[in-house]
Amino acid sequence: MTDLIHSDCIAGMQTLKEGSVDLVVTSPPYNIGINYGTYDDTSDRSTFIQWCQEWAAEVKRVMADEASFFLNVGAAPSDPLLPHQLILALTEGGPEFVLQNTFHWIKSISVETKKGDTISAGHFKPINSKRYVNDCHEYLFHLTKSGCVPLQRRAAGVEYSDKSNITRWGHTGGEDKRCRGNNWFIPYDTIQSRSEDRPHPATFPVALVEQCIRIHGQDQTQHLLDPFSGIGTSALAAQRMQVPHFTGFDIDEDYLETARERLTIDAEDTSQQLP
């Protein structure tokens, strides 16, 4: 069941039962002047932080005790403190979440191999500046009520490059999977037209939400919530990962209509691929 609801997220979440959500994945406005269709992204910092504490308090209320809340936050190079100020406000004040893990969503990376070759992968928005470098990552804060929520680390893991480690380490149980760690390289999907393929100024990849579902536990996720649903990226991930119930709110009806269209197209594509 997928519920895409045209509503302010605070008012919308107030209609949900306490403790009814297993997983929350969202990316709120960053208050850095992004041109959304409806929302004004230019509040002063204190007003923005207070608003985040208000909607986050509702998130905490609807979360089950063993639920996970993955909060994606980026920043402008000229204003790097926002993610840190926000996470302090959500953990030391307001709803008083526990920061259980900090993940880094790597959108682009260059790595030098043992042979001295440099391999570059991913996408980033280049900036023209004498003071700042290109910003190729965003934060993904893992917040919980207790700080003790079990994760399925290997479900979101990677295969061993050295297969001898499978038998060398007893904790593997013979499985060719290890914990991926807190750096997640997930590039944007290549698009042909922003207005048609990504008609929203600030989206994250479906794969990022899928990774959150895996590490929290696909079998533990019966109800996924995204308070800032946008064009339905989290809803799409829930559909692909067969999460029984998804709820998303957004104040922009055009974004929600795009989300519904994406879900329909994806479901049709999936059905055509089945034997």
pLDDT tens by residue, 240-272:
999 999 999 999 999 999 999 999 999 887 766
**In degrees to the nearest 10, what's the CA dihedral of 234, 235, 236, 239?**
120
For 19-48, the pLDDT digits (tens) are: 999 999 999 986 654 444 554 556 788 899
pLDDT given at position 34: 46
Q: Which residue has the higher pLDDT, 274 or 155?
A: 155
CB 186 within 8 A of CB 211: yes
- Rounded percentage of the chain residues whose pLDDT exceeds 90: 59
pLDDT given at position 254: 92
pLDDT given at position 121: 85
Range 132-159 average pLDDT? 92
pLDDT given at position 166: 55
The order of strands in the sheet holding 98-106 is 2-6, 245-250, 223-226, 21-26, 63-73, 137-144, 98-106, 183-185
- What letter represents residue 10's amino acid? I
pLDDT given at position 32: 52
For 57-101, the pLDDT digits (tens) are: 999 999 999 999 999 998 888 889 999 999 999 999 889 999 999
CB 124 within 8 A of CB 134: yes
For 111-124, the pLDDT digits (tens) are: 888 888 888 888 77
How far from the centroid of its chain's Cα atoms is residue 21's Cα? Answer: 16
For 161-175, the pLDDT digits (tens) are: 656 555 655 565 556
- Rounded percentage of the chain residues whose pLDDT exceeds 70: 82
What the chain holds in terms of domains, given with CATH numbers, is 2-112+119-273 (3.40.50.150)
CB 8 within 8 A of CB 249: yes
Residue 206 — left, alpha, or beta (φ > 0 → left; ψ -120 to 50 → alpha)?
Answer: alpha
